[in-house]
Structure 1
Amino acid sequence: MIYLVLLFAYQFYLNSNKDSGLDPFSTIIANQVNAVQNVLGYPSQLYNDVSNEQVWFYVKKQYVTRMVEGCNAISVMILFVSFIFAFYKGSKTFVFVLAGLVLLYIMNLLRIVGLNIVMAEHKEYGKMFHDFVFPAAIYGSVVLLWLIWIKFFALKHENS
């Protein structure tokens, strides 16, 4: 039930931002990725393609990737939150969810930075990193957080 509520809320959010290009949350992430890349020595700029609801990353004088709504990890975060709340344990549930969301947000930011660097430096590995390595990292993080929640919080009183 929580999953469906969050999913419908997210869809409502996306529909309400339909005509403004990439949604505001994804745009914030794109700007943060751009800033991190510049700090790391990868001169970067963004090109906002409003009509196609995407942002292009221009890194080291070349267009390397584009960011669309699916890159913001909200779907992954919704899965994470839904699972944790399925094993609700009071206020610590909210603390764990908040900490987990921050971790997933940072992981996703670094995932996009990493993909842009791979595409700028070793384009031949780009598809493998986009399709396998980085999804494994983000989904693996979710599974690890779920396991931590179950082992150390949700089942703690039952095993004592």
Structure 2
Amino acid sequence: MLKDFKPVLGILLRFIIIYLVLLFAYQSYLNSEKGLGLDSFSRIIADQVSYLQNLINFPTELYDDIKNEQVWFYVKKQYTTRMVEGCNAVSVMILFVSFVFAFYKGLKTFIFAGTGLVILYIMNLLRIVGLNVVMADHKEYGKMFHDFIFPAVIYGSVVILWLIWIKFFALKNENA
């Protein structure tokens, strides 16, 4: 009976191991930057969001709050939102990569994971820009967008990418 579940258990075990390894690596990275303000990766994202907002004529400046490890977005002469480590979507990307590699299919796994990470990165940038626009122009909808709409966008993107991976790559040979 256990032989019937062996493939599923193998996938589950791979997922858990990959997830834990990536999670511990990320936590080590965060620990190495403790006390320096917002971590470098999150800061890069904040800079890119600011660039995009300025590009679409949404004047934005960033203000570092090193003590609290965050960066504030100053938009239209008001502090609209703040960027903290959790806004960088790394935890979502770790979950995505762990799932894709749990269904390892050689080189195409690396290509799909890399492409998916780029897509998730862009979606996250657009999510933060969207949140800043909402908070600057329609603050009354800010909580709804922050807590429900934009998380649905980023997690929905992950689920769509997973479905594409399973349907067109991971299980393709088994369905043929």
TM-score normalised according to structure 1 size: 1.00
Question: 2:148 aligned to 128, 132, 147, which one?
Answer: 132
**SS of the counterpart of 1:131?**
helix
Q: Aligned residue for 2:12?
A: none
**SS of the counterpart of 2:104?**
coil
Distance 1:87 1:78 in 2: 15
Q: Aligned residue for 1:159?
A: 175
**Aligned residue identity for 1:5:** V
- The 5 A counterparts of 1:11-160 are 11-160=27-176
**Aligned residue identity for 2:152:** A
Distance 2:58 2:175 in 1: 50
Deviations 1:106-141 (A, max 9, x none): 000000000000000000000000000000000000
Q: Aligned residue for 2:13?
A: none
Q: Structure 2: which 5+ residue stretches go unaligned? A: 1-16
Identity of aligned residues (%): 77
Distance 1:108 1:45 in 2: 19
CA deviation after TM superposition for structure 1 residue 19, in Å: 1.3
**Aligned residue identity for 2:118:** V
Q: Which one has a bigger Cα radius of gyration?
A: 2
CA deviation after TM superposition for structure 1 residue 148, in Å: 0.3
**Aligned residue identity for 1:153:** F
**Aligned residue identity for 1:74:** V
Distance 2:56 2:77 in 1: 15
Runs of 4+ in 1 over 4 A off after TM superposition: none
Q: Structure 1: which 5+ residue stretches go unaligned? A: none
**Aligned residue identity for 1:58:** Y
